[in-house]
A and B are shown apart, each in its own frame.
Chain A
Amino acid sequence: MGVQLSKRCSLLAVTLGVVLAAPAVFAADIGSLPALKYDKAKAELGKRLFFDVRLSGDAAIACSTCHVPENGFASPTALSKGYPGNGHFRNASSVINTAHRKVWLHDGRIGTSLNDVTREMITEDYIMNMDMRIMQERLKQDPVYLKMFEDAGYGEPSNGKVRKAIPEYLKSLTSKNVPFDKGVMSAAAKRGMKLFTGKAGCVQCHNGPLFTDQKAHNTGVPENFDVFLDPMNHQAFIAFAMFQGIENYMNLKRDPGYYNVTLDKSDMGKFITPSLRELKYTAPFMHNGMLKTLDDVVAFYSNGGGEDGNKSPLLKPLGLSKSERGDLVAFLLSLSGDPLTGAEHVWQEPYPEEYEAIANWQKVRN
């Protein structure tokens, strides 16, 4: 549904351009998220894996190092931490509701499954730099995992099963008790919703139950110069661009975004529309964390977005008043639910400090 609407909007944008900027009411196909079914034992295993630093090459970082529960499972810093020895060049998105998505990562380079996303995050050298063959053997060395994999019906630990278990856990990370979903919104939030679907035009891209069309747009978000001025971040960026086959990567002074997927110059600087759920926890915002608060985000759009030759024609100055901007922020906050920071969502048991030796090693099969 959201896809269709978005297609229609793009077409409108191309053909009618300016008209869109005028106050209008868009079909508000926004709504609550359907519940996801998941396997409890597999998700429990995935949860332990998600918080386990032994899933990274030098056993220093876990998925949760950048996808921080207290921060809505997103990066609290503008640029993610990255693997030890380097930095990063983007802001880790929230993984809450990620199981509902059809396309992943800010540049949309994975459009298959969370299984593939999991592999990419674990193996990528500037992220977790894990040789998954070593990972498998680490897991086989931990009796708790042996039991959990068995209980989950996976048999013995393997790379493939890790790539199934973590996505199963991610299905459990969905918005809970969201005022918008429950229809208990403040008057300001209700006014904000009207602006959202009308005058402000947000819904043109932020639509569907996830409040994203999952398509790439250029909104002119300014570059985060820390990507290029800090060699730790820049090396991660260069490694990424080199590996992705982006030409002239040594001279790039901007994040190519969706261009990485299409190699079409008109896609330079486009990024996949982010979900608006759980924004209460996930600051800073945008693919590179350049906007610190929701006030900044709304002000950014009210001014018609940033500056870019490829900027989407959907973006025009909105002329929102201060109170309108406040109403919009109230609406955005009504899209956030309870924090997912309890034991149900966060692995809280300690991990063993050392790998136990397998007893009677000579006699047992590996």
Chain B
Amino acid sequence: MINNKSRNTQSTLHRVRGGKGSPGFMVLPVLLLAGISTGCATQTQADSGMAAGTRVAAGSPSLAPLGPPPIPPDNKQSPEKIALGKLLFFDVRLGGDASTGCSTCHEPNQGWAWAEDFSRGYPGTVHWRNSQTIINSAYNPRHFWAGSASSLEKQARSAARGGVAGNGENDIMEARLALIPDYVTHFREVFGTEWPLIRDAWRAIAAYERTLVQRDTPLDKYLQGDKAALSEQQVRGKKLFEGKAGCIQCHNGAMATDFSYYNIGIPPNKRWEEEGLAQITFRFEQYAKGQTEEGYRTAKSDWGFYYRTKNKWDRGKFRTPTLRYTLYTAPYMHNGVFYTMEEVVDFYNRGGMDEEGRTTFFPENKSQLIKPLGLTDEEKEDLLAFLEAFSGEEILIDPPELPDYAPLFTKQELMEAKK
């Protein structure tokens, strides 16, 4: 606890290396169960810049209907575990000052994300990246925008402990669980421990999140043979998606993402120029993610995948996000710079530039897959219509009623305690 807080740098490489076994293990069930194609297996080599031009739309994996989510063999689903995970997902006591839990930044009414460019962050802070939706996160082989967590279990842990997210420490969170009798019983039933262990909380939360999937979108239905599921306009949009617009080069497979890392030219969020609180977090992240001194002093944009690899050609690269459920998850991109899908399409149509002509601070790393598309207004409309087919009904739930704290001992027991 002390070390963690006062340590000068925290190498994210450790986390990458520590999780080395996981991606392969996660990929396999994805392939088998969900029919997602090979993009993810070669994620770190993808788009090195040198391969530019060799990848064409025709060679990309197809879009596919979404199968059941992969379940890791060391964290099997059970109704009791899922029910516990649901409670914990909404319990703000799994955070530093008992105000910030998972659902705080992954708010069901905001697409299970947060409807601002930057996630709201822990009280007294603001985050520096966009909160991503929980819906279908079960299919991601890695989590966070630079893929720093290799499982939902690890994502939950990192988010609950991060200084600008949950800012919780294991010991106090575990202590809180022990003082909530319903949880003690529930954890004992599910995990067989005398007292709740914090790592089991992450496992239960992950199990709950694996139920938050959407597999009945218009696109799923269409791909399963219901040709009426897409409008004519959407079918035209699909053609553009797979052809002229080239979206499918990265947004492919059942999750409409190759889970790889690209610099597509997203400009830095202007809040870093305008807001003191955002500037604080920006520098903290450079510090916390193990930047060099010079990197800390000079970084003025999010270096993304670089923080994990420390390769200069990875600066400004981020994981291809899914397009599923995007109807509800605005704003878009790792830093939320686009509040509408129209802006997103315009950005790509310009070849990776916003309307002011701003782009990445690392143009040398920008993917050569990104170039002006020359879409007409009508084509843009078609594409936008098709993008809506990646989303079904909005998934809304009532937050569960949470169990209360209760004293562990009676006064009588305390009086009888031998001194």
Partner-B contacts on A (CB < 8 A): 54, 56-60, 83-86, 119-120, 123-126, 129-134, 136-138, 140-141, 159, 220, 223, 225, 228-232, 234-236, 238-240, 242-243, 250, 253-254, 269, 307-310, 354-358, 361-362, 365-366
* Chain A nearest CB, measured from B201 CB (Å): 15
Residue contact B163 to A131, C-beta cutoff 8 Å: yes
From B6, B164, B275, B287, name the one whose CB has the most chain A CB atoms within 10 angstroms.
Answer: B6
| Interface bin, chain B | 35 or more
Residue contact A133 to B163, C-beta cutoff 8 Å: yes
B283 in complex: contacting residue of A137, A220, A253, CB < 8 Å:
A137
Residue contact A58 to B413, C-beta cutoff 8 Å: no
Secondary structure call for the A interface: loop
* Chain A nearest CB, measured from B111 CB (Å): 26
* Chain B nearest CB, measured from A289 CB (Å): 16
A366 in complex: contacting residue of B167, B168, B286, CB < 8 Å:
B286
B97 in complex: contacting residue of A84, A354, A366, CB < 8 Å:
A84
Residues of B within 8 A of A358 (CB): 276, 279
B311 within 8 A of A: no
Known contacts A125-B169, A134-B280, A355-B277, A83 near B407 by CB under 8 Å: no
B408 within 8 A of A: yes
CA of A30 to CA of B94, assembled, Å = 50
**15 further interface pairs, Cβ-Cβ under 8 Å (given A131-B163, A223-B417, A239-B172):** A58-B99, A59-B124, A123-B2, A123-B6, A132-B6, A133-B288, A134-B281, A229-B411, A231-B179, A238-B178, A308-B419, A309-B418, A310-B419, A355-B277, A357-B276
Residues of A within 8 A of B406 (CB): 231
Nearest residue in B to A220 (C-beta to C-beta)? Answer: B419
* Chain B nearest CB, measured from A246 CB (Å): 12
Nearest residue in B to A309 (C-beta to C-beta)? Answer: B419
CA of A85 to CA of B99, assembled, Å = 8
Residue contact A239 to B171, C-beta cutoff 8 Å: yes
Residue contact A365 to B280, C-beta cutoff 8 Å: no
From B276, B277, B409, B417, name the one whose CB has the most chain A CB atoms within 10 angstroms.
Answer: B276
| 18 interchain pairs, CB-CB under 8 A | A58-B123, A59-B124, A123-B2, A125-B168, A131-B288, A132-B5, A132-B6, A134-B164, A230-B407, A231-B406, A231-B408, A235-B176, A242-B174, A355-B276, A365-B297, A366-B282, A366-B283, A366-B298
Q: Which 4 A-B residue pairings sit nearest by Cβ, starting from the closest?
A: A355-B276, A85-B98, A59-B124, A238-B175
Residue contact A60 to B97, C-beta cutoff 8 Å: yes
Nearest residue in B to A119 (C-beta to C-beta)? Answer: B6
B274 within 8 A of A: yes
Residues of A within 8 A of B371 (CB): none
Nearest residue in A to B300 (C-beta to C-beta)? Answer: A362
Residue contact B413 to A366, C-beta cutoff 8 Å: no
Residue contact A59 to B123, C-beta cutoff 8 Å: yes
B125 within 8 A of A: yes
A84 in complex: contacting residue of B98, B276, B282, CB < 8 Å:
B98
Residues of B within 8 A of A310 (CB): 419
* Chain A nearest CB, measured from B217 CB (Å): 39
B122 in complex: contacting residue of A58, A232, A253, A309, CB < 8 Å:
A58
Residue contact B6 to A86, C-beta cutoff 8 Å: no
CA of A310 to CA of B419, assembled, Å = 8
Fill in one digit per residue for B297-338: 1 if any A CB lies within 8 Å of its CB, else 0: 111100000000000000000000000000000000000000
B203 within 8 A of A: no
Residue contact B178 to A54, C-beta cutoff 8 Å: no
A253 in complex: contacting residue of B125, B172, B179, B417, CB < 8 Å:
B417
Partner-A contacts on B (CB < 8 A): 1-2, 5-6, 8, 93, 95-99, 122-125, 163-164, 167-169, 171-172, 174-176, 178-179, 194-195, 272-277, 279-284, 286-288, 296-300, 405-409, 411, 413-414, 417-419
Nearest residue in B to A56 (C-beta to C-beta)? Answer: B124
Residue contact A125 to B122, C-beta cutoff 8 Å: no
Residues of B within 8 A of A235 (CB): 172, 175-176, 178-179, 405
Residues of A within 8 A of B283 (CB): 137, 140, 366
Residue contact A134 to B163, C-beta cutoff 8 Å: yes
CA of A307 to CA of B419, assembled, Å = 8
From A123, A141, A239, name the one whose CB has the most chain B CB atoms within 10 angstroms.
Answer: A239
B273 in complex: contacting residue of A126, A132, A133, A362, CB < 8 Å:
A362
* Chain A nearest CB, measured from B155 CB (Å): 19
Nearest residue in B to A131 (C-beta to C-beta)? Answer: B163
From A59, A123, A236, name the one whose CB has the most chain B CB atoms within 10 angstroms.
Answer: A123
Known contacts A60-B97, A366-B286, A355 near B279 by CB under 8 Å: yes
Nearest residue in A to B287 (C-beta to C-beta)? Answer: A133
Nearest residue in B to A61 (C-beta to C-beta)? Answer: B97
* Chain A nearest CB, measured from B48 CB (Å): 28
Residue contact B405 to A86, C-beta cutoff 8 Å: no
Nearest residue in A to B9 (C-beta to C-beta)? Answer: A133
Residues of A within 8 A of B93 (CB): 85
Residues of A within 8 A of B299 (CB): 366
Residue contact A119 to B419, C-beta cutoff 8 Å: no
Residue contact A355 to B300, C-beta cutoff 8 Å: no
CA of A56 to CA of B97, assembled, Å = 11
Residue contact B6 to A58, C-beta cutoff 8 Å: no
A58 in complex: contacting residue of B97, B174, B300, CB < 8 Å:
B97
Residue contact A126 to B124, C-beta cutoff 8 Å: no
Nearest residue in A to B169 (C-beta to C-beta)? Answer: A125
Residue contact A57 to B122, C-beta cutoff 8 Å: yes
B272 in complex: contacting residue of A242, A250, A309, A361, CB < 8 Å:
A361
Nearest residue in B to A357 (C-beta to C-beta)? Answer: B276
Known contacts A84-B98, A235-B179, A361 near B300 by CB under 8 Å: yes
* Chain B nearest CB, measured from A318 CB (Å): 22
Residues of A within 8 A of B279 (CB): 137, 141, 355, 357-358, 361
